Structure 1
Amino acid sequence: MKIELKWVVSFGVIAIISIIGLFWNTKLPISSEFLSGDKIVKSDVAWILASSGLVLLMTPGLSFFYGGMVGKKNVISTMLQSFISLGVISIVWVTVGFSLSFGDSIGFTINGVKYGIIGNPFSYPFFDQVGMLPHKNMASTIPFILFALFQMKFAVITPAIITGSFAERVRFISYLLFIILFSLIIYTPLCHMVWYPDGLLNKYFGVRDFAGGTVVHMSAGFAALAGALFLGKRKKPHHEPSNISYVLLGTGMLWFGWFGFNAGSALAANATAAMAFGTTTIASASAMMTWVLFDRINGRKVSALGASIGAVVGLVAITPGCGFVTIPESLFIGFISAVVSNAMVNWKKLKKIDDTLDVFACHGVGGIMGMILTAILAQGKNASLLHGGLTVFTHHMIALVLVSAFTFFGALLLYKVTDIISPLRVTEESERLGLDQSQHDEKI
């Protein structure tokens, strides 16, 4: 059997990283940025450990959610594209991704104030200094290693979300290369700018993104749109979902895991986590019911697929504001986001783009709605529009445009680079045969 060079190179990279990890010195002096161990709050540790496990569960949940929607010849390949992200991005995160996301800021200074664009890759390579002591400025009541692992789960699921847009037509090895590039070049700087204390969008624009509406869902949504445009339409763009029960199972796993995603982002076992837990539940419930009823009044039958998609849209939309809004406001967020996303899913002009599983209409538009509604409704620090915060609202809208452009055009460039190195689209014969068989020699 002929083995392609790219697979040998890929294996070699993993081998080299593993060997470096074996001999890497992780006992460097601890800097003044770390607190003593007696500052750790055990209840916070317990909750973030649980939350990290919940967020990890979301990626297998996403694989079932997507896998049930595609045709029978592409179930395994679609599920694996999500699942493999647990392996690829975890390694990227440990080696350099965490440093780029939460390392010392590299950016520019205005009037003596520093605004970060991306983290220093040499801050925490191979999790150097990422140990049992808490960090002063990032999660000061839990071990720094726990904070890093919690954030890793967000980095894992973001590229997995993108896969639904180009399902049934992407080469597996090329996809692996793309998600590595996406994670390093788009996700990490966006993560740093929004969530790092000195990040540009955080410090200058005052962007409020409690759990990843901007960092995760908008970035994945616009990258998905770029991917659907770049790869073009499938030869047979219409398909019957293979297994609706998989979709329901995946939705349940996502909803369950999302409690860790949102409530865990309080980074403590406190009242904010409890409120985020509540708003997450209610927004999703509201969006699910809105979706199926909106379908019905538009002449479409109530469906399990619609209910599942509606629930996930509600989860997406509440994510950026879940810790900043009230329960009644979360009801409205779920309702209006479901109406808008449903209209986008069924918009004829958007239908012309073969976004296989409507990733942009659900995650991209849901993330946009969440960002806008957070800027209107959020309470507390950095008042929103309804609380006299016109500046915050204006900054949010500017940031929305900047993030949309950065993620869409950045992803489009990465698709082109990936395609030059390794063609992204499978051959017509492979597409006809199905990716399960042609890419993995497996079948359901």
Structure 2
Amino acid sequence: MDYKEKVVEWIDSNQLDIAKVLSEMVKIPSVNPFFEDNKDVIYEEKFQEFLANYLEEMGMNVELWEPNAKELAKYEGKAGYYEGRDFTNRPNLHGELKGTGGGKSILLFGHADVVKAGDEWQEDPFGGEIKDGRIYGRGTVDMKGGIAAMVMAVKAIKESGIKLRGDVYVGSVSDEEAGGMGTLAYVDKGYRADGCIVTEPTKLNIAPLCRGILWGKLTVLGRAGHIEMDQEDWRTGGAVDAIDKATLFLEHFKRLNKEWAITKKHPLLPIPCQINIAQFNAGEYPTSYASKAEIVFNAQYLPSEKDENGLGSNVKKEIEDLVMKVANTDPWLQENLPEIQWIVDADCGETDYGNPFVQTMEKAALSINNDITVEGLSCHSDMGWLIESGIPTVNFGPGEPRIAHQADEYVEISKLIEATKIIALTIINWCGIEE
């Protein structure tokens, strides 16, 4: 039996233990405070401490530290920087397993934070329930399933008695779900590797790119007035329905999306970039016209559209120009200009398909599952700063991305095991071994 067979056999023989590790991770409700800011929420700290202890028991050297927004102010205006962001009880983690020398290094990378559970769960969102071949809970897909797979891949190699030539690093950061400042802090520390796997959920496909994501809020003003009464002209004090004015922008967003469906495509992405409406907030009373309407939207952009700071300012301007163009067609809006507030600009990245690291990972994946393909991520991941720092990076992990933030989020144990095998074989092939 060769070393690869030994590793695969160990993983097959320890499937339940791998599932239990993920279950224990899910039981730690590491909710990002962007979504749930109260003293009863644990945030990322307890998860990072759990992971640090596990890695140390495996023989890895581990560092935990809390990022400091003031120390990162030199990145103002660049991807991932948000002034005043608080990282109290929200540490980053870096672990190292030194090789014997002469091999290439690899970074296994993930984020500790999850979005809040929300409503409509049939399962306990932080129960880590194992049943019917699945593990349920917030974060099973996004992305504690990937973290469990990468950690257990390293353990499988060690338990199989294999000595790697290259170094293996494990990075786990806070704050990915709200813009990626944890990754900025990680890169700022100077950590580098010859290749990186970000274990975001990809359905076990290899994703050498992700899109950038813009969150924006468009505020459209109106003037309140009795909705059941005939209204005089707005110039002489009549009411103006903010909802009616906001629909003008919704219609033009639809038209722009038809253009983007043609102009903002990528051969490795299954869908084009679009402006998707996430929230529509308007009105005060059933008897009054709305005095204000807010449209919260999510717009995506391609790596080729990044500006010099790695952000989406070019796409922001495209949307802002459209909003002003629409406003200039309406006398009320001309005098009461709508306003766009940009909430999040999450960067993107791309590693060329021909890069040796991508090829190494694809070969390992196909040796386990012939149905695996190369396909980009339609959502954001933390790969942007890793690529900017010179590390060839791919996204790869178990789970269906479409159910990542849903109620009753789950990952199939069989896919978790496949991911563990593929990551382990990629580590072996990339780092090399001492015969």
TM-score bracket for this pair, using the shorter chain length: under 0.3
**Which one has the bigger helix percentage?**
1
Question: Per chain length, whose mean CA-contact separation is higher, i.e. which structure has more relative contact order (CA < 8 Å, sep 6+)?
Answer: 2
* Structure with greater strand share of residues: 2
Structure exhibiting the larger radius of gyration computed from Cα positions: 2
Query: When the two structures are superposed, what TM-score results if normalisation uses the length of structure 1?
Result: 0.27
